[in-house]
Amino acid sequence: MRLFALTVALVIAGLRAAASADQLVTVATADGPRQAIVLTAEKVGPSPTIIVLHGATISAERMKRISGFAEAGAVHGFTVVFPEGKANRWNDARASGARPDDIGFLNALAHQLVAAQIADPHRLYIAGVSNGGLMAFTLICQPNTPFVGIATVVANLPADLETSCHPPKPLSVIMMNGTADPFMPFGGGRSGMFGRHGPVIGAEATAALFAKAEDCTEPSQSKLPKVDAKEPTHIKLLSWRGCAPEAGVRLYEVEGGGHQIPGGPTFVPFLFGPPNHDIRAADEILKLFSGS
């Protein structure tokens, strides 16, 4: 993997503005300049930081508006970063042929945030939704990844990584998947609309792979309380315990749920499947990563 020199088009003092003000970081790569939106935590010095990857066809700005991470970051004291994929897509491990070096871009972005004393290197996390979640898995499986935790929503591990993935230890893993997702098959198989994209392994198989890597024991199961009794979906939580110190694996199975962000806006249910609002995904993820 090529490593690229990185330049940041900002003054560091400007990054310490209020979290509501968007700051743009520009990264110079062999694929041309790449950008990310940064919302800094309201504190002095390095803070826990999460890089959030958008799904296919949507922008970083839209991801900021719909994902809930901007608001959850302000509540839990996280710097939240929304990078922009080329043509609103990420080159995850399902892709083939000449594509942008998204691994190089995102690793360089992470290292620069640490070098600028914005991100705490011991509390640097990656998250993603759909295509962004598969990209997050692709990153976390790379040697010497800088991330200590991963959270994915409606995403499984690309099948090509099943035997080659070597996640770091310790690693915190949070997954949220719908059992009736029409685009990301819960049990594994070809992904995307009409299965037009590469194969993934099942959601439970993905979680079990990471649980094994983190020396976890068998998972416990519980059902989360219902918020809206009229909503047909509900959440079963699989939680692996006895993992390596500071590691853990949690899989939120939205039973009957589709390709929707839990607690987020509902998008075309007849196409994307049923939503669930028993939890707010971003808030749940950052609450767990913050240890609160």
Q: How confident is the model at residue 6 (pLDDT cuts 50, 70, 90)?
A: very low
% of the chain with per-residue pLDDT over 70:
91
| pTM of the entire predicted model | 0.92
Lookup: tokens for 244: 């390596």
Rounded Cα distance between 136 and 158, Å, is: 11
pLDDT of 4 strictly over 50: no
* Domain assignment present for 109: yes
Alpha helical stretches, state H, the chain: 12-15, 60-66, 69-76, 102-115, 131-140, 203-213, 269-272, 281-290
Range 221-230 average pLDDT: 94
Calculate helix-pair angle for 69-76, 281-290, nearest 10 degrees. Answer: 30
% of the chain with per-residue pLDDT over 90:
82
* Domain assignment present for 4: no
* Domain assignment present for 6: no
**Given this model, what pLDDT does residue 44 score?**
76
* Domain assignment present for 122: yes
Rounded Cα distance between 213 and 54, Å, is: 27
**Given this model, what pLDDT does residue 98 score?**
63
- What is the number of domains present in the chain? 1
Place of tokens 């991330």: 147
* Domain assignment present for 5: no
Rounded Cα distance between 156 and 150, Å, is: 12
**Given this model, what pLDDT does residue 31 score?**
87
Q: Could you check whether the bond before residue 232 is cis, i.e. omega within 30 degrees of 0? A: no
Lookup: tokens for 79: 């710097």
CATH number at residue 41: 3.40.50.1820
Rounded Cα distance between 280 and 268, Å, is: 19
End-to-end CA distance of the chain: 37
Which are the contacts of 156, defined by CB distance < 8 A and separation ≥ 6? 134, 137, 177, 184, 185, 186, 188, 191, 200, 201, 202, 203, 205, 206
Rounded Cα distance between 68 and 23, Å, is: 18
Q: Provide DSSP, 188-199.
A: EEEESGGG-EEE
* Domain assignment present for 2: no
Burial class (CB in 10 A: 0-12, 13-18, 19+), 4: middle
Cβ-based neighbour number of residue 232 at 10 Å: 12
Report residue 223 CA to chain centroid gap: 23
* Domain assignment present for 7: no
Strand runs (DSSP E) across 23-66, as ranges?
Answer: 23-29, 32-39, 47-53
Question: Which tens digits make up the pLDDT trace of 126-156?
Answer: 999 999 999 999 999 999 999 999 999 999 9
Question: Which tens digits make up the pLDDT trace of 71-83?
Answer: 999 999 999 999 9
Rounded Cα distance between 6 and 26, Å, is: 8
Domain span including residue 130: 12-290
* Domain assignment present for 1: no
Cβ-based neighbour number of residue 126 at 10 Å: 28
